[in-house]
Amino acid sequence: MKDPIKELCDLLSESGATLKFGLRAQGHIPTIERMLDDGASWDAIGKAIGWHPPTAKLWYERELQRSLDEKRKAQNEHDQ
């Protein structure tokens, strides 16, 4: 029996296609922020970006935390 994951990876590699994971990598952050500013629900946001709504919310929250951590680190390095 063939491994479907390996087959998919081989096809992607042969085609030269790039597979991107994450809201930022897929370019969804501006859309999410605009929709949140407009009062959209996570159900609407998920539908608009093609993600499962609770997963989109979780990944967005992680992205916000990562961004905050990077800013704090840069500020701490600047202050030293």
List pLDDT tens digits, range 8-36.
888 888 988 777 789 999 999 999 999 99
In a domain, 5, yes or no: no
Measured distance CA(27)–CA(78) in Å, rounded: 29
For residue 31, what are the CA distances in angstroms to 42, 49, 68?
12, 8, 19
Measured distance CA(38)–CA(44) in Å, rounded: 11
Structural domains in the chain (count): 1
What mean pLDDT, rounded, does the chain reach?
Answer: 91
Range of the domain at 66: 21-79
State pTM to two decimals.
Answer: 0.70
- What does the pLDDT look like over 48-76, one tens digit per residue? 999 999 999 999 999 999 999 999 988 88
In a domain, 37, yes or no: yes
In a domain, 31, yes or no: yes
In a domain, 16, yes or no: no
In a domain, 54, yes or no: yes
